[in-house]
Amino acid sequence: MGFFDKLFRRKKVMQEKKIFLEREDSQLSQIATTEKQRGMVIVNHLSVDDAVAERLLERVIAFDVETTGLSAKSNRIIEIGAVLFENGEESKRYSTLVDAGVNVPPTVTAINHITNEMLLKAPREKFVYPEFLAFLGDALEGKTMLCAHNARFDMDFLSETLMRLGYDATISCVDTLALSRKMLKLRSNKLNTVAQYFGIENEQAHHAVADAEVCGKILQELLKLKKEQQKQYMQYLEESSLDEEEMETCAYIQKIIADHEGDLEFLGFSKNKKGYIDVIFISSVFKIKFMKKRKYILAEKRFFQNSDLEIEPCSKTEGTEAYVRVFFQNPFQLENVAESIWHIYKEHYDKEMYSLAMGYLTREDAVCIIKSLHTLSVYDVAKLLQRASEREEERLWKEKETERIAAEQQKEREKKAEEKKKAKEEKKAKEEKKAEEKKNVSAGRKSLGRPVLQMTDDLVIVARYESIAEAIRETGINSKSIRDAAKGVQKHAGGYVWKYEDEQQL
């Protein structure tokens, strides 16, 4: 190192020492003059529900600061960047370095590349913050929301600075770091990592306004993703919706658990594509199946050894031999297996709580799971069970009414059958009587036939017949010949003279 290099280096060190001392004196003087006029700033850190998401899509200010350290109490903001987004697009921005009257440590300069020399040319706090607050506008009243990546850090510095300078404000903000952790499940959720995930470039990392812009763009992408997830979730809820009878059964199961003072925090219900209803505490406890005429619980057989309800083996697609179907007709019949249901739930609950305690599962994960399920409040349970009771009473009344109507119909059928039988017998009697009368008439007619005489040519009677029919039977002579001979058409029939007896007597 040459003489002039040593000289310039010594001069630079002396300048930095002078700047540091000047900033220390200025900081002490500033703190002394502003402590007595400290303001009040309230910061509301909001979770992004549907209502908040709609407001953020309309208007939001993305915000970022560079500071001299990590403590909002002892360090200062040395750069502010803010970008206003309206309807998802950048509307305007604010960016400035801030001379806060303090020294910038070399370790900070190495990160954000802000030097003490740069801050000598920057405006002082008393000039910066009136301009910045004008940019924020109604955000100071909590109307327009702010967003930041790791918002608690940025908002701690902003609120502390405003209070130190004597300003009052109520600010609402959201954290894109927390939101990305919740929605993306990346290994790292640093600003630039999340930006890369969405294909957003940040050419000036650790430059406040550039980071604010990237933060705002990340928020827009997260909101779009949330909207799509909400759409998919609503579709899922529609497809997995439970009808009233299914909800009544779920309500009775929840009542059984509540009666045993069980924990209901992460209890919910879900219906899968195959129509099985899952009773869930973080994960599936057991399943319920509603068929057209029958309902059953699908669970391990060991819990139902002494059940009063009908039990049969499950199908091969439902599980192993260790699982059975436990049939029930209405929710109230589950009281017969209440202890079994409670023991299944308690054993499952203990396993899941162990997973939470060991860190295999986080409470945040459990909260996410419960948000995707159908859950029931105490009021819901009471209302559903009241409806189930009314439904059961209605079913019993209909059953009795059906039995009454069936009995009446059976009685009516028996009456009609008896009447039909009687009518048939009467008809048969009439037909028999008519046949008898016809027979009698026929017999009468036969008895009224004209006797005929068989004679020789000398009119000597050979034989007498009651009728021509009898003569035919006895003699075998043609009936026409006998009649013609009797009428005098011809003289003989079979070699004999024939005369009707009544005519012969004349």
Supply the pLDDT for residue 340.
95
Specify whether 229 is located in the same domain as 300.
no
- Comparing 28 with 205, the larger pLDDT belongs to 205
DSSP state, residue 49: -
Are both 58 and 197 inside the same structural domain? Answer: yes
Least confident of 132-136, 413-417, 433-437, 468-472: 433-437
Mean pLDDT on 14-31: 48
Same domain for 295 and 367? yes
Give yes or no: residues 228 and 252 share one domain: no
Q: Residue 482 is part of which domain span?
A: 452-505
- pLDDT, mean of residues 389-406: 88
Give the CATH number of the domain where residue 53 resides. 3.30.420.10
With 0-12 / 13-18 / 19 or more C-beta atoms within 10 angstroms meaning exposed / middle / buried, residue 391 is: middle
Do 210 and 260 reside in the same domain of the chain? no
The lowest-confidence range among 12-21, 129-138, 242-251, 392-401 is 12-21
Residues 76, 143 share a domain: yes
- Asked, for residue 20, whether it belongs to a domain, the answer is no
The answer to whether position 17 is within a domain reads no
- 53 or 439, greater pLDDT: 53
Q: Which of 293, 329, 292, 324 is nearest to 311 (CA)?
A: 324
Asked whether residue 342 is domain-assigned, the answer is: yes
Please check whether residue 345 lies inside any domain of the structure. yes
Confidence at residue 505, expressed as pLDDT on a 0 to 100 scale: 62
Residue 254: inside a domain, yes or no?
yes
**Count of the separate structural domains present in the chain:** 3
Q: How far is CA 342 from CA 178, 260, 279, 366, 376, in A?
A: 37, 7, 12, 21, 18
pLDDT given at position 165: 96
Give me the helix-helix angle, 50-58 and 208-239, nearest 10°. 140
Q: Residue 479 is part of a domain; what is its CATH number?
A: 1.10.10
**pLDDT per residue over 26-64, tens digit each?**
444 444 444 458 999 999 999 998 899 999 999 999 999
Query: Nearest 5 degrees, angle CA 365-CA 299-CA 319?
Result: 95
| H/E stretch holding 202 | none
Specify the pTM: 0.54
- The answer to whether residue 17 scores a pLDDT higher than 60 is no
Mean pLDDT for 440-464 is 76
Same domain, 275 and 226: no
* Residues 124, 220 within the same domain: yes
Same domain for 95 and 223: yes
Q: Check whether residue 299 and residue 225 sit in a common domain.
A: no
Q: Are 79 and 114 in contact (CB under 8 A)?
A: yes
From 366, 387, 408, give the residue that closes a domain.
Answer: 387
Higher pLDDT, 385 or 7: 385
- Does residue 11 form part of some domain? no
Taking only the tens place, the pLDDT of each residue in 287-327 is: 999 988 889 999 999 999 888 899 999 998 998 899 999 99
Using 50, 70 and 90 to split pLDDT, how confident is the model at 135? very high
Residue 440: its pLDDT value, please? 67
Q: Pick the last residue of a domain from 188, 212, 235.
A: 235
**pLDDT reported for residue 469:** 86
Please check whether residue 311 lies inside any domain of the structure. Answer: yes
Q: How high is the pLDDT of residue 10?
A: 47
**So what's the pLDDT on residue 443?**
57
Q: Do residues 500 and 452 touch, judged by C-beta distance below 8 A?
A: yes
Q: Which residues are catalytically annotated?
A: 206
As a residue count, the chain comes to: 506
In this structure, what token pair is assigned to residue 230?
A: 């909400």
Question: pLDDT value at position 22?
Answer: 52
Mean pLDDT of 188-213: 93
Average pLDDT, rounded, for the chain: 88
Whether the per-residue pLDDT at 3 is higher than 60: the answer is no
pLDDT at residue 366 tops 80: yes
In a domain, 406, yes or no: no
Is 36 found in the same domain as 114?
Answer: yes
Residue-level pLDDT at 201: 92
Q: Is the pLDDT of residue 5 over 80?
A: no
User: Which residues neighbour 4 within 8 Å (Cβ) at sequence distance 6 or greater?
Assistant: none
Pairing relationship of beta strands 59-67 and 41-45 according to DSSP bridges: unpaired
Judge if 256 and 228 occupy the same domain.
no
- Are the C-beta atoms of 90 and 84 separated by less than 8 Å? yes
Strands (E), 355-472: 452-455, 461-465
Last residue of a domain, one of 387, 404, 436: 387
Encode pLDDT of 316-335 as tens digits.
899 889 999 999 999 999 99
